[in-house]
Structure 1
Amino acid sequence: MGETTSRVLQLLGLLQSRRVWSGEELAERLGVTGRSVRRDVERLRELGYPVHASKGHGGGYQLGAGAALPPLLLDPDEAVAMAVCLRLAAGGSVAGVGESALRALSKLDQVMPARLRSQVSAVHDATVTLSPNSSDAAVAPDVLMTLARACRDREHVAAGYTDIRGNNTQRRLEPYQLVTTGRRWYLMAYDRDRADWRTLRLDRMSEVRALGSTFTPRDAPDPADYVRRAISASPYRYVARVRYAAPQDVVAPMFSPASATVEADGPDACIVTAGADDPERMVVYFATLGHDFEVLEPPELATAVRAMAERLSRSAART
């Protein structure tokens, strides 16, 4: 690295570490003249860093906020702290934060020295996070990072996968998008061996590795809609469709995206699609929402509704 470039980076680090610096202070810290400081400030401005200069008492050079965010210069402690926070945020449940944290972590991880990565891993491995969804299996940060980069770079991935029935398979994938429900992470990918799209839970993936080769993007379904439909119905023995006599915006908040899809059926009704292994459990849940509904399918659910109604009628008669 040239002397001038090194000095400009050092100047940037100083400006990011304190609100205001006088020209004399910067010149002393950098071991150069005031004229050299002014030239280096101009170089930073050309690179997109908004460096403001003011005269008089209390004046000096100040790094301001610009229209776009230029690269940040972090010291080792700051980089480790940021990476640890981003790892925690990437596994969190605040809407929108997980995806943004993962993108930021992917950029930081790409340029972080190996010795700092090991410090981040040590902190993460020594930390346990309690949450309302602590029963869900955790996703290894390295799996998130590998898949995020593969989605970005359109890179082939190989992985082991354990399905809901405990069957272990090897997958050759074209990863397209990571999707989170707040409770779990999913990958929408094209399975090269099955010649079809698949939704895979990240906590069921193992030995995830990028293969180095890239693929040409295919015409893909909408990731959020595809994953929502896959996780709300396909893993279950029974897939129910019921019509509620209530608008979509009233019913939708009563279901999580991971449990059902809710589609409008006119202004005053909606259709809910959900899956379960036990029709009677579905009846109980559907009935507790406080709105009338009719069963569209399957027949087993309609039978369970009639059986539940008769049971409740008998119980009411004894009361």
Structure 2
Amino acid sequence: MKTFHHHDFADPAALLATKQASGTSISVCIPTLNEEGTIARIISCLRDSLVESVPLIDELVVIDSGSTDRTRLLAEESGAVVHLANDILPFHGKRTGKGENLWKAVYQCRGDIICYLDGDIGNIHPRFVLGTVGPLLTDPQLDYVKGFYERPLLASEGVDPRGGGRVTEILVRPLLARFFPELARLHQPLAGEYAARRSLLESIPFPTGYGVETAHLIDVLARRGPDAIGQTDLDERIHRNRSLADLGRMSEQILDAFFARLPGAQPSSNERPPMASLDEYLARFPETLLTARKGA
């Protein structure tokens, strides 16, 4: 498992040249639910730096879970293409959750590489895209690259610069160390900032809730091995800290996805199938079917 620093990919023009030489396209997807306080700054920053100044991003997409605030309006005004999750693949039923939005992004987005960013980043910077996409553009061995960072926690005593990531430290890291030690070297297994190749994302199932990142790592490890996974130091991420009740619900969803991946376990009912198994997806991306037939 390779580890990088975002400074290694700080020149977007150089990455653009690499991208153009390989014929690769890049989509950035932001899943949202009531993020009016941050979404406009996120979209404006990425458009200014990585669409208009240097056209590294081919597609900047927001997939929204049904926000009741101004999230969708502000995202559109800032230059993103906005979709309601329920409007994508409607004949497959309506489900809610972050993983649902990420799964539907595989269908809706066109890029060969899809970069996911959370919608509550308070210190948005191009490095969140450059640092995760850069390794995929420059290292063909990699299929999946996670970001990691310091996560300050605002508490009554002040700011704890390393107090964030409570679910990671209390729940996920011990589980990975016990059952999947190859993944224990990941600094932030639950980071919402990561990039992956479409060819990988279309081949794996997606839990519909917060278990999606944990499930991804276990499934990528099983299918591609640890050398396909990388991680990049993105310095610091400032975001909205969640309540203990929210973290409890998140932990329950993570456990559901985790135990479904242990030997002999029954599949979880809270998951979407690999996108490449859907006829609608194969009609939209027929090259997926051609590749599968060649490998058969």
TM-score class, shorter-chain normalisation, is under 0.3
**Higher normalized contact order (CA 8 Å, seq sep 6+, divided by chain length):** 2
TM norm structure 2: 0.22
Greater share of residues in strand: 1
